[in-house]
Amino acid sequence: MINVALFGLGRIGQMHALNILSNKNFNLKYVYDVNSQLVKNFEKKYKIKSIKNEKIAFDDKSIDVIFIASSTSTHIELITKSVLAKKAVFCEKPLDLNLEKVIKCRKQISKFNAKIQLGFNRRYDPGHYALKEKLKAKIGKLKKIIITSRDPSPPPISYMKTSGGIFKDMMIHDFDLARLYLDNDKFEEVTAFGTNFKNSYSSVNDYEIAAVMMKSKKGVICYINNSRECTYGYDQRVEIFGEKGMMISNNERKNSIEINNSSFTSSKEPLKNFFIDRYKDAYALQLNGLKDMVIKGKKPRATFDDGQQALYLAINAYKSLKLKKTIKIS
Amino acid sequence: MINVALFGLGRIGQMHALNILSNKNFNLKYVYDVNSQLVKNFEKKYKIKSIKNEKIAFDDKSIDVIFIASSTSTHIELITKSVLAKKAVFCEKPLDLNLEKVIKCRKQISKFNAKIQLGFNRRYDPGHYALKEKLKAKIGKLKKIIITSRDPSPPPISYMKTSGGIFKDMMIHDFDLARLYLDNDKFEEVTAFGTNFKNSYSSVNDYEIAAVMMKSKKGVICYINNSRECTYGYDQRVEIFGEKGMMISNNERKNSIEINNSSFTSSKEPLKNFFIDRYKDAYALQLNGLKDMVIKGKKPRATFDDGQQALYLAINAYKSLKLKKTIKIS
Amino acid sequence: MINVALFGLGRIGQMHALNILSNKNFNLKYVYDVNSQLVKNFEKKYKIKSIKNEKIAFDDKSIDVIFIASSTSTHIELITKSVLAKKAVFCEKPLDLNLEKVIKCRKQISKFNAKIQLGFNRRYDPGHYALKEKLKAKIGKLKKIIITSRDPSPPPISYMKTSGGIFKDMMIHDFDLARLYLDNDKFEEVTAFGTNFKNSYSSVNDYEIAAVMMKSKKGVICYINNSRECTYGYDQRVEIFGEKGMMISNNERKNSIEINNSSFTSSKEPLKNFFIDRYKDAYALQLNGLKDMVIKGKKPRATFDDGQQALYLAINAYKSLKLKKTIKIS
Amino acid sequence: MINVALFGLGRIGQMHALNILSNKNFNLKYVYDVNSQLVKNFEKKYKIKSIKNEKIAFDDKSIDVIFIASSTSTHIELITKSVLAKKAVFCEKPLDLNLEKVIKCRKQISKFNAKIQLGFNRRYDPGHYALKEKLKAKIGKLKKIIITSRDPSPPPISYMKTSGGIFKDMMIHDFDLARLYLDNDKFEEVTAFGTNFKNSYSSVNDYEIAAVMMKSKKGVICYINNSRECTYGYDQRVEIFGEKGMMISNNERKNSIEINNSSFTSSKEPLKNFFIDRYKDAYALQLNGLKDMVIKGKKPRATFDDGQQALYLAINAYKSLKLKKTIKIS
């Protein structure tokens, strides 16, 4: 049984808590959140012990994993402390909004050979990951990647204010996913466009839609398109094109029915509504990845380095948008 | 250039006329219909010579093909006369409503080695026929055939009165199509159900929906389901199942767009509306088959014998429905 | 917490055990099987107490549910004992192979107002059940039902010997599903065909493929086609056709990728392999239905009566096949 | 009857010739090509009169339409002469490789109120154009356009040498199509990437894959991706995303069959092979558009101005690629 201390009981933290509770390999020993009301409610409902400060978890020898789902600004400090306390770490994306902080942390923890898994859920999605597994056999040399990611509706303005913007907060998943397919190659050029059709986004210096085009050292061209609003659900598609063929990881629906009437035919249900539904299987497989990292020392599909590289792309995309030119990245 | 005399300028006759006009291998020399107004209108619009009686066509040595699209009751007599006049024949389905008449005609014309093509358009449909061509390679030994055929709306009551009923008029296409896939096998048992949900069909002794189950000598089970009404268009599907796999010939739409909104996703256009649209390519290929029969002596995909066998199945299906038992056929 | 005693640790019993273990509302208190080795292995792996005879469960006041997944021949006796012991019951299909036994049991337990849920998993499948929920709104008056159920491979000969044959063992699910859509209507005519393409099935007096056509009092025509072998996986489809439109509950795959290459396009993964994968969600929802029956007294989607009616249809289908005629049922 | 003189009997010219021959509204009076062998063969096969120089057509008062399918470098001169001779014009894309020549021609012919239709076939494709027709009703305010266009195989090196490169020769269709959906809006920023995976393209200063991202005045972001090689056929897809939903115009196949076996399910035929097959209906509808322009004075879907604007985008895309920066266009 792997003992876990979970930091952060917001929407994503609560989802992780329920996944941990229903996975037989894990024991959710402590939960912590700065919001004491959230903690109280959770404690009452699930009979899980809450702690008043994080130190208790770091000091408890029985704790195997620090599971970080608190706000982004706390990630780096918690990772550092966890590693110093010899704990394995799961950390939600993004690592931080500031690349220098990430690099500094990396140096600090470099000698510890720490076990850290990043929360890039797409890498555990059965469809998106099947593309990776079949890439060589089915399409041969990779030539293009096209990623579509559209959220059904935007987060609250209050969240967007501190989110770091669409590139660091939302597209970071897609930067990472694109890197997954690239394998031994790397992106060298990035160019970005963004648009607001309403003032609500501009007021927090963010964008409703954003699009990025990147080119890798080997010539692979990648296109990522994000939207904060999408009437038909959570649109999550990946297309990879290569020498021998093309593969698509398509959207998923809650069932497989089709409706035909006088207005239309083969009509399907709306898409799964958002990440908790759409990536349900991915979250469960991610936990198994965490178990394999903790118990067998297996490298997780998403590492600290993946977190850093995705952040680097996000920062350069934003730079491109602001400078209105293609950024050459090293 | 193949010279054609077309008999019958009803809906299907006019469609055939336009196809003949647009096919470079054919010259539509004469048209004939008992309805002189139909003839006048057609003559005026297309500048095609009409004839006052069919004999003119039979006597004209330049005429190569008698194209029979007149009412069912005239088919057998016209076929017989055409053969005696040494003309090649295209004849719409069904051959006749009376099997004895068909058998008698067959005997009469047996020594002439006549060139006769039956109007079973499904045999020329690119999808339905692709199943036939790929059957052995893709599914191996055939085990099941499932045919769905639903008309968007019923013919006028006046037509239904003399149509011979749903089995001889509509399902005859599906009996023939099932036989196409059977190859060297034959149906030995047939059982049929039919239902009227409204009085309009009963009043002409017909059915709104009809379903037939047949079993072949080799054990293939075939299911055919017909409907006279279908809100979403002309539903035309075939499924064949065998030892190595399953194939479906699916419906077609006028374009390939998909619509996604807050109510549904991947919604497609209604189906092609009816046989003139849906089997447009089939009718063109059928004409090419006629050309190959006339010029190269090539056996058409649908023969007089196919017309007779399909009628035999239709008659036994109706018998099964009336006697409420499975009919063993020889 | 609902305390459960599970009888039967075969393939389906073990699957139910794991579902019960992972459902927070249930406590798997006892397991029992006539095969002591199965019990030992299970006890060791999951630390669940096994019992030496069923009586212990019936006598234990803390047991709320007797969960019957043992062989078919034991079902009726166990149901009767459970009801007498005031336990709620879950029972796998079929109730029994003998209709008289079922009717007798029904009489015996009639005064107890027993809570009994039948194991008709299709009723809990999100897709198949969505058709039921949307039927009136989307297709209006029901006219046809077409059910396709093909197993990837047959059970062992040893199992088939005592299974009761394809109608009672396999198609029983489809008889029940057809009844679900019928609502206040009932089937009055049934006709069946069956074929063996190899001797292995005949040797146990069974069929490789079976097809049934039924007609309801209101005129709905239902077609069910079953196969014991299917190369492309577990084919599970339902089509319902009505006055306003048509709906299909389609097959499911383990992910939603599509592959395009020089041989084919939009190629999808093989179907989910068999019932444990395909109806995974259905089994979980079925357990919730059990909980609602036990705790809230809610009628389950599948009742003892549903089990009896489906068996009645299966028996008459077999009779039709043997007598080679349509059976009129009361 | 509209009398046509066709210039150019290369692959696309011959296709147009056959379309004109099979359209009842047109009479193909003259054909002309610099390659006398091509002319001889065509004359022999189709009994169409060839002319030794273009002047004969311009001087013949009975000629209504000059149909220009000759090499790109001849387009502008022929358009000018046709207009001066008071002929209606159909001209294949691109207008020319040199924007100044196009602008000069435009000035020269400006006072003639000439009837000119550009050969942008996508505007006549039933699927792609259905998106345009349904745009407002189905998706409301437009936010994104994603166009995929992949040729099955590259043209001969000899052709590529003078083709003007992938942007002016191939992507010009997509620039025009994107403009079709934009309506009263215009593109203001364009950025392009291109890659060669083999030397054959570099040797003629061209690219195997090219990708362009554009942003319109109103903020619409458009992504176009082209490839000169595609194993699974001629990939032609359009996606438009907006406030109320999303629509896709999907690929087409020669039939609608699906194959299921032990390796894959729902596998479809390869895509229609290339433009002659894929845009067959579009070419026929384009001719009808030509007829409506000539007879009714109706504005064609693709005009001289559309040809000029698409060329302008192509030129700026190439400039972006070469300068490695986003080009702001006026």
The pLDDT value recorded for residue A46 is 86
The pLDDT value recorded for residue D273 is 87
Q: Do D247 and B254 touch (CB under 8 A)?
A: no
| pLDDT at position C44 over 90 | no
Instruction: Tell me the pLDDT tens digit for each residue of C127-141.
Output: 999 999 999 999 999
| pLDDT at position B153 over 90 | yes
The pLDDT value recorded for residue D322 is 94
| pLDDT at position B259 over 90 | yes
Identify all chain B residues contacting D277, using CB atoms and an 8 Å cutoff. none
C-alpha–C-alpha distance, residues C309 and C179, integer Å: 9
Chains touching chain D through at least 3 C-beta pairs below 8 angstroms are A, B, C
**Closest-CA residue of chain D to C263:** D270
The pLDDT value recorded for residue D166 is 97
Instruction: Say whether pTM exceeds 0.80.
Output: yes
C-alpha–C-alpha distance, residues B235 and B150, integer Å: 5
Of D256, D260, D262, the CB nearest to B249: D256
**ipTM attached to this prediction:** 0.95
The pLDDT value recorded for residue B200 is 86
Q: Do A247 and C257 touch (CB under 8 A)?
A: yes
C-alpha–C-alpha distance, residues A292 and B92, integer Å: 70
Chain B positions touching chain A (beta carbons under 8 Å) = 231-233, 251, 253, 259-271
pLDDT over 70, % of chain B:
100
For residue B30, the SS3 value is strand
Residues of chain A by 3-state class (helix, strand, coil), percent to 5? 40, 25, 35
For range A301-316, the mean pLDDT: 98
Instruction: Tell me the pLDDT tens digit for each residue of A37-87.
Output: 999 999 888 889 999 999 999 999 999 999 999 999 999 999 999 999 999
Identify all chain B residues contacting D136, using CB atoms and an 8 Å cutoff. none
| pLDDT at position C330 over 90 | no
Q: How many CB pairs under 8 A join C and D?
A: 55
Identify all chain A residues contacting C252, using CB atoms and an 8 Å cutoff. 256
Under a CB-based contact definition with an 8 Å cutoff, are residues B139 and B241 in contact?
A: yes
Residue A210 tokens read as 């954003």
Region of poorest pLDDT, from A79-93, A139-153, A236-250, D44-58: D44-58
The number of beta carbons lying within 10 Å of the beta carbon of residue A159 is 14
Mean pLDDT of chain A: 96
| pLDDT at position C57 over 90 | yes
Could you say which residues of chain D have pLDDT below 70?
none
Alpha-carbon gap: B323 to the closest alpha carbon of chain C (Å): 10
C-alpha–C-alpha distance, residues D222 and B239, integer Å: 41
For range C5-20, the mean pLDDT: 95
pLDDT category, A182, cuts 50, 70, 90? very high
Identify all chain D residues contacting B252, using CB atoms and an 8 Å cutoff. 256
pLDDT over 70, % of chain C:
100
Q: Do B265 and A251 touch (CB under 8 A)?
A: yes
Q: Do D211 and A213 touch (CB under 8 A)?
A: yes
Give the DSSP letter of residue A326: P
| Mutation for D interface: A134, A149, A251, A326, most D CBs within 10 A | A326
Q: Do A127 and C257 touch (CB under 8 A)?
A: yes
Mean pLDDT of chain C: 96
The pLDDT value recorded for residue B27 is 94
Are β-strands A49-50 and A26-32 bridged in parallel, bridged antiparallel, or unpaired?
A: parallel
C-alpha–C-alpha distance, residues B259 and B270, integer Å: 12
Identify all chain D residues contacting A144, using CB atoms and an 8 Å cutoff. 209, 211, 225, 227
The pLDDT value recorded for residue C22 is 84
| pLDDT at position A23 over 90 | no
Identify all chain D residues contacting B261, using CB atoms and an 8 Å cutoff. 138-139, 244-246
The pLDDT value recorded for residue D99 is 97
Instruction: Tell me the pLDDT tens digit for each residue of C202-230.
Output: 899 999 999 999 999 999 999 999 999 99
The pLDDT value recorded for residue C46 is 87
| pLDDT at position B33 over 90 | yes
Domains of chain B in start order, with CATH, are: 2-114 (3.40.50.720), 122-278+303-328 (3.30.360.10)
Are β-strands A88-91 and A116-118 bridged in parallel, bridged antiparallel, or unpaired?
A: parallel
**Looking at per-residue confidence, does B202 or C224 come out higher?**
C224
The pLDDT value recorded for residue C318 is 97
**What's the per-residue H, E or C state across chain C?**
CEEEEEECCCHHHHHHHHHHHCCCCEEEEEEECCCHHHHHHHHHHHCCEECCCCHHHHHCCCCCEEEECCCHHHHHHHHHHHHHCCCEEEECCCCCCCHHHHHHHHHHHHHHCCCEEECCHHHHCHHHHHHHHHHHHHHCCEEEEEEEEECCCCCCHHHHHHCCCHHHHCCHHHHHHHHHHHCCCCEEEEEEEEECCCHHHHCCCCCCEEEEEEEECCCCEEEEEEECCCCCCCEEEEEEEECCCEEEECCCECCCEEEEECCCECEECCECCCHHHHCHHHHHHHHHHHHHHHHHCCCCCCCHHHHHHHHHHHHHHHHHHHHCCCEECC
The pLDDT value recorded for residue D199 is 84
| pLDDT at position A198 over 90 | no
The pLDDT value recorded for residue C200 is 86
C-alpha–C-alpha distance, residues B206 and B197, integer Å: 11
| pLDDT at position C273 over 90 | no
pLDDT category, B58, cuts 50, 70, 90? very high
Identify all chain D residues contacting A328, using CB atoms and an 8 Å cutoff. 324
C-alpha–C-alpha distance, residues C312 and B10, integer Å: 51
CA D3 vs CA C14, D28, D30: distances in Å? 80, 6, 9
Q: Do B260 and D254 touch (CB under 8 A)?
A: no
| pLDDT at position C199 over 90 | no
